[in-house]
Chain A
């Protein structure tokens, strides 16, 4: 079961940090993906079982999310990245400006992740010819990091994508 972050458990999550910026600023520099993922990973890792290992894994995972958003978003509005924690689960929540086309991209991508052949699809696109599938990062999270996603498309011109990660117990 990969899609569908647990909505009911929402209020047991403790907010850890939130970073907010103009999507135009975020989208202006590819290096922000790396910096933001490394920063967030470092900030939230110190009280995990192995802080260094956890930070590496967390950074790798959210960097893929951020790179996906870097490539697929609407041009103007706010971009927010926040992390909340409940026990072993870290909930990454990303809000971004999204028109109908952007929403359709995420909606379709997440639907593909729930298919039973998602691991095969992921590996096939990893070794395919031509440009990388834009949803490869989402596939990697779902397949290799066992992320559980949920998507909120109800807000006009915005979307929220939530990924629940349990990397502390992951046997990666």
Chain B
């Protein structure tokens, strides 16, 4: 207890000319930051052009710490001709863009950039108001299956639970009602979805869900916090899903479990018109891969979980179909997919009209199968969970 605690890490990555500070920096005196200062000065010698100061995960900083950093940056710019410094902040931290922003007024060669959605190309497709009703209907249909599966994967009442990439929060509301967790944090990187989620919870009179804005690949949630961490239909939107799994692993308590659901879209099916449907969903897998995402993760979940360090990995699959309640719900999902894949994505890829026409046809046929009195249409999903070793 006696020594002041400044719990931060500094790292210099020479390849990227990036100096990162992570954690909490609240020293009593500048002298406590001597190590950081020395590393910065040493790093600076190797830098040409632009130095990046990454403070995305610098959560706390007092004025003494800020002054030390400010002096270092300003001195560096004054003494090293041609040097530019780019300070990368995160909107998630709250105070840092404004605080570091004051540096730009002192020296023109210091610029402050708040990193955001641009980082993940796939987010452009999902951080969008139109996606809200799609997610709603999807969750309505998947919940029928998952509701009974969750307990098999270890979810119990009173647990501390986090739903990462929660979207519009329907799943969190259902969890809250059905499983009464002791704590429930729901995190997403789309503000419109979170606003919507808060409104839904309010409308349904559901209290106690903490809707949190954050980036799943660099969460500010502390280590070892949750008994059960869920992440549904979301590994597929990151080009490096293993980084997300690492974060899910980190926030999970030892002995707790992480639960993920993933798709394999090329396996969507329907009858009649099975061939056209199959062709289109093969193309879905390809177009998503074109944007560096993998919508085929489902059966790969076991390997991903094991590679992350989980043990006791459990896996099962289920099929959402047109016979789960109202077939129109299923048809609505497909219509939204058509707009996303054959609309936005195909246009962005620059596909020709003939291709787009055929691409659309498979979705229309899937809808036809779903609404046909003797038809059958399905969307398969894989559930995997693993335990973080004690």
Q: Do A and B bind each other?
A: yes
A1 to B207, CA, bound (A): 35
Interface of A is mostly: helix
Bound form: Cα–Cα A146–B60 in Å:
19
The CB with the most chain A CB atoms within 10 A, among B3, B94, B106, B212, is that of B94
Instruction: Please report the C-alpha to C-alpha distance between residue A53 and residue B191 in the assembled complex, in whole angstroms.
Output: 13
Assess the B99–A144 pair: CB atoms within 8 A: yes
A97 lies within 8 A of chain B by Cβ: no
Please classify the interface of chain B as helix (H, G, I), strand (E, B), loop, or mixed, using the class held by over half of its residues: mixed
A29 and B1 form a contact (CB under 8 A) = yes
Residue A126 lies at the interface, judged by CB distance under 8 Å to chain B: yes
**Chain A nearest CB, measured from B244 CB (Å):** 18
Number of interface residues of A (CB under 8 A): 29
Flag if A126 contacts B26 (CB, 8 Å): no
Among residues of A, the one whose C-beta sits closest to the C-beta of B4 is A30
Contact (A46, B98) CB under 8 Å given A29-B1, A59-B60, A60-B60: no
- Give the complex CA separation of A65 and B320 in angstroms: 55
Interface size classification for chain B:
35 or more
Residues of B within 8 A of A63 (CB): 26, 60, 62
Given the known A-B contacts A34-B5, A126-B67, are A172 and B26 also in contact in the complex, defined by CB atoms under 8 Å? Answer: no
Cβ–Cβ contact B59 & A123, under 8 A: no
Decide if B213 touches A136 in the complex (CB within 8 Å): no
Instruction: Determine the chain B residues whose CB is within 8 A of the CB of A33 once the complex forms.
Output: 26
Pick the most buried of B70, B93, B207: most chain A CB atoms within 10 A of its CB: B93
The chain B residue with its CB closest to the CB of A70 is B28
Task: Scan residues 9-34 of chain B and give those whose CB is less than 8 A from a CB of chain A.
Answer: 24, 26, 28
Is B220 part of the binding interface, using a Cβ–Cβ cutoff of 8 Å? yes
Question: Bound complex: CA of A21 vs CA of B208, how far in Å?
Answer: 31
Bound-complex Cα distance A123 to B98 (A): 12
Q: Tell yes or no: B179 within 8 A of A by CB.
A: no
Chain B residues near A56: list those with CB within 8 A. 59-60, 93-95, 220
Contact A57 B210 (CB under 8 A): no
Task: Name the contact of B2 in the complex, choosing from A29, A51, A52, A172 (C-beta under 8 A).
Answer: A29
Q: Is the CB of B185 within 8 A of A140?
A: no
Given contacts A30-B4, A38-B60, could you give 16 more A-B pairs where the C-beta distance is less than 8 Å? A34-B24, A47-B207, A50-B194, A50-B211, A53-B212, A56-B59, A56-B60, A56-B94, A60-B94, A67-B63, A123-B102, A123-B105, A127-B74, A132-B63, A137-B63, A172-B98
Nearest first, the 4 closest Cβ-Cβ pairs linking A and B are A30-B28, A30-B4, A51-B210, A31-B5
25 pairs, A vs B, C-beta closer than 8 Å = A29-B2, A30-B28, A34-B24, A38-B60, A50-B194, A50-B212, A52-B92, A52-B210, A52-B213, A52-B214, A53-B92, A53-B212, A56-B59, A56-B95, A57-B94, A57-B95, A59-B60, A67-B62, A67-B63, A123-B105, A126-B63, A126-B70, A144-B98, A144-B99, A172-B98
B residues with CB within 8 A of A: 1-5, 24, 26, 28, 59-64, 66-67, 70, 74, 92-95, 98-99, 102, 105-106, 185, 194, 198, 207-208, 210-214, 220-221
